[in-house]
Amino acid sequence: MLNSISSILRNLDGLELDVFQIKDKPELYSEIDFSGTRFFLSPLCDAISAPMTVRRFHLNQSEVGHLNKCKNLIEDVMRSAYNLFIVLKGEEGANIWQMNALKKSQKILAAKGPIGMFEKNNGFSWIVSTIEDGNEYQHLVFQQGINSEIPLRLATRDNYAHKLDSGEDFLGYDGFKAVEPKYELLVKSLQSFKKSWQHFSQRTHHHLYCWSNDAIDSFQKSFVQNTLRKYKQIISNESMYSSYGLIMCRISNMNGLFGLKKIEQIALQRIRPGAILYIANGGDKVKIRQISEFISSIGIDDKYLYDTKRELSYHQCQVGEIESTAIAVIVPLWAGLWEDSREVDGEQIISLNDL
């Protein structure tokens, strides 16, 4: 199964993607260059240890030179912010901010990488725009509190005037001028961090845990290809890591088919809302209700397929109707990357408030 999916994904649309199979190959964690975009395939049962797998990826990355450089830049930002908050909040307030900010930055780096530091509302700094006298002004703001405090406006730039002069928008944090002298050091630290990160290629690692109740080659090739295209489209919105499950089933012809093993059912307890159900209708004219019953019969709780975030789509066959209806289910899996999850001795756990 993994060989077939790997072959199709690797050559999908002629892009020659980097695809690796992880099953029984723990040495890959230390041998693979974790730069650029990588796809990893494992059997569904391995999703039980998805959080540990992500941490192995992250540990490997921590040895990469450019990530170490990013960490140094983040430390420079934190140091500049701490010195500023000593002036604004006093030493005690600055110490509280620093303690909370370090915890938050570690979670952001684990979940999204350095790019998460610039995410609006969830990161530490971002850009907001205002229209004044018909001109667009952009403001660089910084999160001065971890929860509800209003972000601190550090710097401003006139994007409209710059575009008139150069014909282009500003890049990154270029062109920002501190609104007060005491903000200058932090603005410069943020500009250096942003500019350095822009020069690194995006590093994204996507893990797909696969299961099928029949050989992949028995499905329509175009159906499998379009399923993997949908998967790629989903993960294009992921920042740094993603963990998904792929379940492919033939519905009508039950001879020789099998359901999920207990360990695979346990692995599916990591399912999060937002599943995609993709259907290739066959000559057997299977109805949605029957599909729901079938999914339940093999051990998948269909509440994840029929929530408000679920997407349902149909495969358009190009070479005539197939004999047996087939389905593909793409489900997001929790891999310990929720930024608001709790940590105990390096392991993230969920509190009732997170559910």
Average pLDDT along the chain:
76
The band of 354, judged by pLDDT with boundaries at 50, 70 and 90, is very low
Q: If you count them, how many residues does the chain have? A: 355
Question: Phi and psi at residue 315, in whole multiples of 5°?
Answer: -80, 130
pLDDT tens, residue by residue, 112-161: 667 778 877 788 899 888 887 777 788 999 988 755 568 899 999 886 66
- Whether residue 269 is predicted with pLDDT greater than 60 in this model: the reply is yes
What residues does 66 pair with on adjacent strands? Answer: none
Query: And the tokens for 327?
Result: 């389905």
Residue from 223, 276, 228, 265 nearest 41 by CA: 228
In this prediction, residue 309 carries a pLDDT of: 44
Residue pair 205/57 in contact by the 8 Å Cβ criterion: yes
Separation between Cα atoms, residue 285 and residue 282, nearest integer Å: 6
Instruction: Name the amino acid, one letter, at 314.
Output: Y
Query: And the tokens for 197?
Result: 């990160």
Beta strands in 53-161 (DSSP E): 125-132, 135-142, 152-158
Separation between Cα atoms, residue 213 and residue 211, nearest integer Å: 7
In this prediction, residue 256 carries a pLDDT of: 41
pLDDT tens, residue by residue, 217-242: 888 888 899 999 989 888 876 656 78
pTM: 0.63
In this prediction, residue 197 carries a pLDDT of: 66
The band of 349, judged by pLDDT with boundaries at 50, 70 and 90, is very low
Strand order in the sheet with 204-212: 19-21, 37-43, 204-212, 241-250, 326-332, 276-280, 311-314
Pick 339 or 351 by higher pLDDT.
339
What residues does 130 pair with on adjacent strands? Answer: 137
Query: And the tokens for 116?
Result: 């998460």
Beta strands in the chain (DSSP E): 19-21, 37-43, 125-132, 135-142, 152-158, 177-178, 204-212, 241-250, 276-280, 311-314, 326-332, 342-344, 347-349
> Residue 76, exposed/middle/buried by CB under 10 A (0-12, 13-18, 19+)?
middle
- List the domain boundaries for the chain: 2-43+204-332, 65-198
Separation between Cα atoms, residue 18 and residue 40, nearest integer Å: 9
